[in-house]
Amino acid sequence: MAPTLAGRVALVTGAGRGIGRAVALAYAQAGAAVACVARSGGEVAAVAQAITAAGGRAIALAGDATDAALMAAHVRATEAEFGGLDIVFGAAGASLENKPVAESDPTLWRRTVEVNLFGTFVTAHAALPALRRRGGGKLIFVGSGMGHRGAATRSAYASSKAGLNMLVRVLAQELAGEDITVNELVPGPVLTAFISGRVDALRGAVGGQEWFKEPEDVVPLALFMATQPPRGPTGQTFSLARRDL
């Protein structure tokens, strides 16, 4: 049976492009109303328009996922538009610093951690009251194999994703008595603008056996995670990688 999200409301960050865009479109196709959030207003508006043109329900919400007040406002707007919130898919991410520690730019290093780790915290913090009002829900955040093993020159990105992994685990422990699950999705390398110009170097870092996929290849796992039962898996890492994390 095809996964169904009929009657559910999802909020997707990073929805303007790449994995976030593919998942927002897929969740809508599966029946969910989708609040699409991204820094680029034009891109996220186009995704929401594509959903509504196909007969779905969507709103576009522009802004930075590290802005706590803005994310709280976006959650309120989602509830006002669709009546609640059931699923959060956090795909907003950045990799701004890819140099050895000794040569790194502290400003870019800090911003990478802010987007990937603090942005995840802000998204969860903003969404939790709405999920509790709904009686449960799903928090799904895009992690990385780099957050489990690391790689030379990737200290900012690897550290931020390692922090995301630990935040997922701690938050799952805090919510263990509620019907709110928190899990990490590790897609492995995906051919998007995110890794543009670094594909060969990344192949060398992760090994020749790795699966370099398109954003749409992540959709089945994202749907699987969104359709697990209320007392289903939590604090877990689900991975599409073809290497030991």
Cβ atoms of 143 and 185 within 8 Å: the answer is yes
- pLDDT higher than 70, residue 204: no
Alpha-carbon 215 to chain mean position: 12
Mean pLDDT estimate for the chain:
92
Q: Where are the beta strands (DSSP E) in the chain?
A: 9-13, 33-38, 58-62, 87-90, 137-142, 180-186, 237-239
User: Is residue 196 very low, low, confident or very high in pLDDT (cuts 50, 70, 90)?
Assistant: low
Q: What is the pLDDT of residue 104?
A: 96
- 109-118, 143-152, 207-216: which range is least confident on average? 207-216
Maximum pairwise Cα distance, the chain: 52
Whole-angstrom distance, CA of residue 151 vs CA of residue 145? 10
Percent of the chain with pLDDT over 70: 91
The average pLDDT across 16-32 equals: 97
What average pLDDT does this structure show over 215-223?
Answer: 96
Can you give the pLDDT at residue 97? 87
Q: Is 9-239 in CATH node 3.40.50.720?
A: yes
The CA distance from 48 to 34, in Å, is 8
Nearest to 144 by CA among 122, 125, 163: 163
Average pLDDT on 7-32 reads 97
Is the separation of the CB atoms in 156 and 109 below 8 Å?
Answer: yes
**pLDDT tops 80 at residue 9:** yes
- What pTM value is reported for the model? 0.93
| Catalytic residue IDs | 157
Give yes or no for residue 208 having a pLDDT over 80.
no
Q: Which of 202, 223, 205, 224 is nearest to 213 (CA)?
A: 202
Q: What is the pLDDT of residues 53-98, one digit of tens each?
A: 999 999 999 999 999 999 999 999 999 999 999 999 999 999 898 8
